[in-house]
Amino acid sequence: MDVFYNRAMETDRNMTVVLLSLFQETAYLPENKFKALDGMGATGIRGLRIAMEVPGSSVTINDVNPKALDLIAENIVLNGSMNVSTTRQDIRKILCEDRFDYVDVDPFGSPAPYVEYALHSLGRKGVLAITATDTATLFGSYPKTCLRRYDSISLRCFLSHEIGLRILLGYVIRKAASNDLCALPLLSYSHDHYYRAYFYVEKGAAKADLLLNDIRYLLYDRNDIDWFFQERDWMNHPRNLEKSPEVDFEMAGPLYSGGLIHPAISNEISKSDIKAALSEKGTANKAMKILITLAGEAEALPLFFCTHELGRKWGKAPPPMGKLLSTLDEQGITACRTHFSPTAIKLHKKHIGETGNICRIMETLFE
């Protein structure tokens, strides 16, 4: 194809239009009028859907490819969209020269080369959306590339996708912080071959400092399937490191250790009108399932327990997921499913510091 189009991303585009309306309801985006940039538009489908489905939007669709611009122009006419304009330039140029309330960066591969430009274009506040399809780099297949591109150490294990997504979030947060901006993660997920993340970006060094407390290193014990997060300050003191028995752990990071979905957003998703809005569209069920699962994960601790990995470790078969969750619940342990894996659970954050005990309880439930 001369111009990129991926039908499989329809689920993701469904989520974009629903989420933008939701960001308006939660005041992260202006409700009556906002300027959006679909900076890598290709056919223009994402920008056009925003223009037609999100009230108050006025959308600029940009692409560097002249053939894409011809197709975008055709699609605008076909859809009779009035609130759309187009440009053909390197996204970095338009991001330097114009201000937007919403910037969507959807490149081939890594968004890293565009992040700082996008942050600049949001000015004092706005919403940034990025897609990363260089997941192999982020989940540990190319550790050198990850270190170069994201200045972070990746790790190959069953947790790789969550670690990779958190490395991406950590990268954006750190880039923002170096510009005295706070890039608060609103919602992020891993799906098929890509990661997608939405941030509320706001001016403020103090807020940026606060968020940086959630940037940590992960120390992972592969043999025992155990892990913990280490503060960045601590890692910068080699003297402490020498004395610590934790040095045998494998390390990943810096990465973001906070929530993948902001409580304000998970509350909105849990409302029934959002569910109804989603079920009206063709690929809505898939999008709805992801959003509902994500909302359920909002109060969970970072990382998850894969029942198959635990089963291998204990030499036992895991019980069915539903049974495991209900039995844990009967014992006062709150856990949920995770969008990262159909065979994994996450623990509620009230169980911080209890994971060792909970694993021992779980072992008794495996047969």
Ligand X SMILES: C[S@@+](CC[C@H](N)C(=O)[O-])C[C@H]1O[C@@H](n2cnc3c(N)ncnc32)[C@H](O)[C@@H]1O
Contacts with ligand X by CB under 6 A lie at 4-5, 9, 40-43, 45-46, 62-65, 68, 90-91, 106-108
Q: Is 281 or 313 the residue whose CB approaches ligand X more closely?
A: 281
Tell me the CB-side half-sphere exposure of residue 208, using CA atoms within 13 A.
18
Characterize the bridge pairing of strands 125-132 and 102-105.
parallel
How far apart are CB 116 and ligand X at their closest, in Å? 14
Q: Is 44 or 126 the residue whose CB approaches ligand X more closely?
A: 44
Residue nearest to ligand X (CB): 40
How far apart are CB 92 and ligand X at their closest, in Å? 6
**Cα separation, 244 vs 230, whole angstroms:** 12
Hey, which bits of the chain come out as E strands? Answer: 34-38, 57-62, 84-87, 102-105, 125-132, 181-191, 194-203, 215-221, 226-231, 250-256, 305-306, 335-338, 341-347
Written as one string, the DSSP assignment of 143-186 is HHHHHHHHSSB---STTHHHHHHHHHHHHHHHHHHTTTEEEEEE
The SS3 call for residue 58 is strand
Q: Judge whether 140 and 158 are in contact, CB under 8 Å.
A: no
Q: Is 45 or 208 the residue whose CB approaches ligand X more closely?
A: 45
**Cα separation, 29 vs 157, whole angstroms:** 37
Q: State the burial class of residue 59 (Cβ atoms within 10 Å of its Cβ: 0-12, 13-18, 19+).
A: buried
Q: Is 114 or 139 the residue whose CB approaches ligand X more closely?
A: 114
Q: Is 12 or 162 the residue whose CB approaches ligand X more closely?
A: 12
Q: Is 63 or 309 the residue whose CB approaches ligand X more closely?
A: 63
How far apart are CB 46 and ligand X at their closest, in Å? 4
How far apart are CB 6 and ligand X at their closest, in Å? 6
Q: Which residues pair with 198 in a beta bridge?
A: 129, 187
Q: Is 12 or 214 the residue whose CB approaches ligand X more closely?
A: 12
How far apart are CB 319 and ligand X at their closest, in Å? 40
